[in-house]
Structure 1
């Protein structure tokens, strides 16, 4: 049901994507993120939260120094570096070997973060912002999570068709820089430039998206990020800190529809739900207690 993918990481074992879902823990070191802004923007707080997420089973830690919520102020390169580099340094000094992802669309931030110890680039502009981003990824041999966020999308084109065209351009840019298709993980970009109805249609049709947006029409590795987003809040009429149940529902549905990596705020709850979903689809592990 889940297509297997092997994603290479520099100086680390590769990520094996397929039947077993991976959980990416969100570590926002910002004062203004929509859900947890200001909670982890001090190094000691960020490190404590990272430890908690790792103890709960996070497979990847995603560090971001700029909020992408609607209306958020732009952050200059040096300010973003000042936010993320001390946290990466602290994680590496702690001896943490779990892969670190840098959530940025700025090539210089990605470059410096990788030199500090990050090994994945998470680009909300899908390699279609600053042209140097693909070059940075190729230089260090790191994979890229490329998100769909097309602010110029025409309503006349069906969403999945528009996303297929968008990601074709992303993959072509990656190839021009020398990045293999297998090093690109696609993120449909839930909540970014989509209506409420489109978000849920995309969740429902995720498997069709997986099989159409990849290289040469083949299946692609997929990251899903729905955690605490407005598509849940608007539907349930609840604030961000009361969206866990809705998040878990979207996580399980996305996994059942072919997703591989799940970017979440609440690691343990989502991991537990994914374990149940995996056992349902594939059977419980052989060493499970009965």
Structure 2
């Protein structure tokens, strides 16, 4: 896959997607980078650390997060996106479920759209991405960030079968609307409508997602399942638990890991790749 000036050769190495939340309320780093100057400094730090994709998000998707207005999401993302785009040719992803945000982001230089709803919240987003000829990340979720951890949304007969069924359906819709298969990336949605045991099962059975014939992104960084295992309530103190999760994801076939701590997780991925990809 060619994205801007970079070629992504899936299976050769692990690629790093760095999280840049320009929000006041994200679960791990809310408020840290929600000014342009702070966001630019963080983006520069990630580039220096070897990031492959910078993922900019303006709407928190932590459990229970309230939906902000369309205008507020655009106002958070676009100035930061434009500023980061002017500084680097690194691939930039925008984390949104809204077609209008995606359209504005693409006009401002975004290279990838990362949709946590897999194209289900606003199906028009798929058409926006198709028309632009860009890659898309389709993630599995049940419900919304407000409802996803309710028991009815975490009740699976077989969590992996449910994820595959959902993603298969959304891949078909994306293809029908004109997105090329080689531009579809899938994400099983760690922490999104899954409990602790279901998250762990995803890691164990990640190779089963290979049947969908798309690159796999895993976003486990600092998430609550790590906190439960470590008895660590502070997300910023979950770096070594995140490292273990990233190792497991890479061993099981992840092509991209989405992380907050780029420098540390790049080291983790280089060593893990050296062990399992040679």
Residues 1:49 and 2:42 are matched in the alignment: yes
Distance 1:156 1:191, change over 3 A: closer
Residues 1:182 and 2:182 are matched in the alignment: yes
Write the distance in 2 (CA, Å) between the matches of 1:55 and 1:13.
16
Write the distance in 2 (CA, Å) between the matches of 1:199 and 1:116.
35
> Which residue of the other structure, out of 78, 96, 100, is the alignment partner of 1:108?
100
Contact 2:6/2:91 (8 A) holds in 1: no
Residue in structure 1 matched with residue 231 of structure 2 by the alignment: 237
Distance 1:45 1:202, change over 3 A: same
Residue in structure 1 matched with residue 267 of structure 2 by the alignment: 272
Write the distance in 2 (CA, Å) between the matches of 1:192 and 1:247.
17
Residues 1:223 and 2:222 are matched in the alignment: no
Distance 1:233 1:140, change over 3 A: same
SS in 2 for 1:122: strand
Residues 1:72 and 2:65 are matched in the alignment: yes
Residue in structure 2 matched with residue 282 of structure 1 by the alignment: 277
> Which residue of the other structure, out of 250, 254, 261, is the alignment partner of 2:249?
254
Structure 1 residue runs without a partner (length 5+): 1-6, 284-290
Residue in structure 1 matched with residue 147 of structure 2 by the alignment: none
CA shift, 1:15, in A, is 2.4
CA shift, 1:93, in A, is 2.2
CA shift, 1:211, in A, is 2.3
Task: Identify the range of structure 1 (151-160 vs 227-236) with the bigger mean alpha-carbon deviation.
Answer: 151-160
Contact 2:14/2:255 (8 A) holds in 1: yes
Contact 2:22/2:31 (8 A) holds in 1: yes
Task: Identify the range of structure 1 (83-92 vs 97-106) with the bigger mean alpha-carbon deviation.
Answer: 83-92
CA displacement, residues 70-95 of structure 1 (integer Å, 9 cap, x when unaligned) = 1212111110111011111111222x
CA shift, 1:156, in A, is 5.1
Q: TM-score, normalised by structure 2?
A: 0.93
Residue in structure 1 matched with residue 149 of structure 2 by the alignment: none
SS in 2 for 1:121: strand
CA shift, 1:246, in A, is 0.4
Structure 2 residue runs without a partner (length 5+): 144-151
Write the distance in 2 (CA, Å) between the matches of 1:105 and 1:192.
14
Q: Which runs of structure 2 are paired with 1:200-219 in the superposition (5 Å)?
A: 200-208=200-208, 210-212=209-211, 214=212, 219=213
Task: Identify the range of structure 1 (166-175 vs 184-193) with the bigger mean alpha-carbon deviation.
Answer: 166-175
Compute the RMSD of aligned alpha carbons: 1.4
Write the distance in 1 (CA, Å) between the matches of 2:153 and 2:120.
14
Contact 2:188/2:218 (8 A) holds in 1: yes
Distance 1:269 1:154, change over 3 A: closer
Task: Identify the range of structure 1 (16-25 vs 242-251) with the bigger mean alpha-carbon deviation.
Answer: 16-25
> Which residue of the other structure, out of 250, 258, 267, is the alignment partner of 1:263?
258
CA shift, 1:17, in A, is 1.9
CA shift, 1:67, in A, is 0.2
SS in 1 for 2:258: strand
Residues 1:140 and 2:135 are matched in the alignment: no
Aligned residues between the structures = 269
Q: TM-score, normalised by structure 1?
A: 0.90
SS in 2 for 1:23: strand
Residue in structure 2 matched with residue 88 of structure 1 by the alignment: 81
SS in 2 for 1:16: coil
Residues 1:128 and 2:120 are matched in the alignment: yes
